[in-house]
């Protein structure tokens, strides 16, 4: 077989784009595929098993309709475009979302669709309820509220409230965010899928939830009614009131629904009850109403029958998954508590470590200051010691000069006495040899003059000795005071040396004490030499 022959046998395909509530997918469909073939392909791609709630919707001539499962896709009146676009949406709604929506993907798709219907005002919701629903939507998206992360303005780009509610109140976006965040903070600990389910449980109690509305007339001349079809039955509304139906037909009370061209007939189960007939301007509307009635009625009966094996398996899996999630949540909560306690302990240890660091820093600064003060005292002591040594040297030199002067004075005294003796001796010999004939007071005058000279010399010697003794006593007194001061300083340094053994300054203070000992020794030596010199 040729390559051309193989190509001819390959099935022809056409492209389809399917838009879900949060994604877009493209598929290649065979020309012979029925609606169910495409629908099953989409469900497999999504991992969806609760397929009976959903359908493929498209718009033709301004009116939405649903792709029929039992007819070929291309045989239906679909848009002539490439690729052909369909919206994958919930076609039928459950009576109780918590009991019927078993898969997480089913809950997620319903949550997104109902949220959009509320924001687009297809489902009316009071302002208070919209704020509560918005807080659950935020919990479903962001998880637990964290004031460090969810700072003011984090919801600025989020669409959470219907425009009708925003126009109804004189409130800024920041004020709305504050109200939503206050509720959001209360949901701490609620898992994201649980937040979505809470959202749906509130929404399912709204009057317009899950209702498909169609304009009808009770006869050919009137067009002032609305027909609503939902999971519980068929309802008739006034044109301006979609909340409270004028008449309702529960599925359990309907015996038959039929239509003929533009007329649709509802026959109650009670044969005595009045048969309800209404008209629509378009045949397609009647067909759509009939299609929705049949689907909702089938689901109504299905809920009240024994679950199929598939449903039983799905419910068992859902229960097991919830149990697992609960166990996981409890385990995570326990871990979170442990982590929080560990964080507190670490914070406490960090605080204690910081206090110890500050204490050591203060101790180090104190030690540094004490070291600086002691070094300053040491320098002052060394200066004093140097000054005393210089003073001692100066005093020693003065003592040498005084000693020299004393020696010279004594030598002069000795010479003067010798001369006096010599003169006395000569005078005596002269008198003895030559008796005096001069007046008697002549010898006396000469002698008195010599006595006066001798007395003056004695006075100078006494004065000089007195000054030397006074200087010696004064120096000894100053030396004693300095000796006491040095001993006191040595005691202080010795005490500090004992305290500083642990700070690494032990050897430094030994050097300081050695220097002081040498200074004290020098002062002692000078004092001792000066004292000895002046006492010789």
Residue ranges of the binding site: 68-71, 287
- CA 128/CA 131 separation, integer angstroms: 5
- CA 72/CA 37 separation, integer angstroms: 9
| Phi and psi at residue 133, to the nearest 5° | -60, -40
Q: Identify the three-state secondary structure at position 151.
A: coil
- The whole-angstrom distance between residue 87's C-alpha and the CA centroid of its chain comes to 44
Q: How far apart are the first and last CA of the chain?
A: 147
Instruction: Retrieve residue 246's tokens.
Output: 């004028």
Across the beta sheet with 13-19, the strand order is 24-30, 13-19, 84-90, 54-60, 63-66
State the DSSP code for 262. T
Query: DSSP letters along 66-104, please?
Result: E--SSSBTTTS-----SSEEEEEEE-S--S-HHHH--SH
Across the beta sheet with 247-250, the strand order is 212-216, 225-229, 233-238, 247-250
State the DSSP code for 33. -
Bond into 83 cis (ω within 30) = yes
| Phi and psi at residue 217, to the nearest 5° | -135, 140
Q: Identify the three-state secondary structure at position 282.
A: coil
């Amino acid at each position: 077989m040729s390559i051309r022959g193989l190509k001819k046998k390959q099935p022809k395909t056409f492209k389809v784009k399917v838009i879900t509530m949060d994604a877009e997918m493209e598929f290649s469909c065979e020309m012979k595929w029925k609606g169910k073939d495409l629908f099953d392909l989409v469900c497999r791609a999504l991992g969806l098993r609760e397929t009976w709630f959903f359908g493929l919707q498209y718009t033709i001539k301004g009116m939405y309709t649903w792709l029929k499962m039992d007819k070929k896709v291309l045989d239906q009146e679909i848009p002539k475009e490439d690729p052909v676009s369909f919206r994958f949406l919930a076609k039928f709604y459950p009576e109780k979302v918590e009991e019927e929506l078993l898969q997480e993907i089913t809950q997620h798709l319903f949550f997104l669709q109902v949220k959009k219907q509320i924001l687009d005002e297809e489902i009316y919701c009071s302002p208070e309820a919209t704020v509560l629903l918005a807080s659950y939507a935020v919990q479903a998206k962001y998880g637990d509220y964290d004031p460090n992360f969810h700072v003011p303005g984090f919801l600025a780009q989020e669409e959470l409230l219907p425009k009708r509610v925003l126009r109804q109140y004189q409130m800024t976006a920041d004020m709305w965010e504050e109200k939503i965040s206050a509720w959001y903070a209360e949901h701490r600990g609620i898992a994201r899928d649980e937040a979505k389910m809470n959202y749906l449980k509130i929404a399912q109690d709204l009057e317009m939830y899950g209702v498909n509305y169609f304009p009808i007339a009770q006869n050919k001349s009137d067009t002032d009614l609305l027909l609503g079809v939902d999971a519980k039955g068929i309802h008739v509304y006034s044109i301006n009131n979609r909340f409270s139906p004028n008449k309702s037909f529960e599925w359990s009370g309907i015996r038959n629904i039929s239509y003929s061209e533009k007329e649709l007939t509802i026959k109650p189960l009670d044969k005595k009850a009045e048969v309800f007939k209404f008209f629509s301007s378009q045949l397609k509307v009647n067909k759509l109403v009939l299609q929705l009635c049949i689907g909702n009625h089938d689901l109504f009966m299905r809920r009240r029958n024994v679950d199929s094996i598939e449903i039983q398996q799905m419910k068992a899996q859902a229960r097991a998954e919830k149990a697992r999630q609960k166990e996981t949540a409890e385990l995570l909560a326990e871990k979170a508590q442990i982590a929080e306690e560990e964080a507190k302990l670490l914070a406490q240890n960090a605080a204690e470590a910081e206090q110890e660091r500050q204490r050591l820093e203060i101790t180090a600064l104190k030690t540094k200051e004490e070291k600086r003060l002691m070094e300053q005292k040491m320098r002052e002591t060394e200066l004093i010691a140097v000054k005393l040594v210089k003073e001692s040297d100066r005093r020693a030199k003065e003592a040498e000069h005084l000693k020299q002067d004393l020696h010279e004075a004594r030598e002069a005294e000795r010479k003067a006495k010798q001369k006096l003796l010599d003169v006395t001796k000569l005078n005596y010999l002269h008198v003895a040899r030559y008796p005096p004939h001069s007046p008697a007071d002549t010898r006396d005058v000469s002698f008195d003059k010599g006595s006066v000279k001798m007395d003056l010399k004695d006075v100078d010697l006494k004065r000089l000795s007195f000054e030397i003794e006074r200087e010696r006593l004064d120096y000894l007194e100053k030396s004693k005071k300095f000796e006491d001061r040095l001993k006191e300083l040595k005691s202080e340094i010795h005490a500090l040396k004992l305290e500083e053994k642990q700070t690494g300054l032990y050897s430094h203070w030994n050097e300081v004490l050695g220097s002081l000992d040498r200074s004290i020794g020098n002062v002692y030596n000078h004092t001792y030499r000066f004292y000895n010199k002046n006492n010789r």
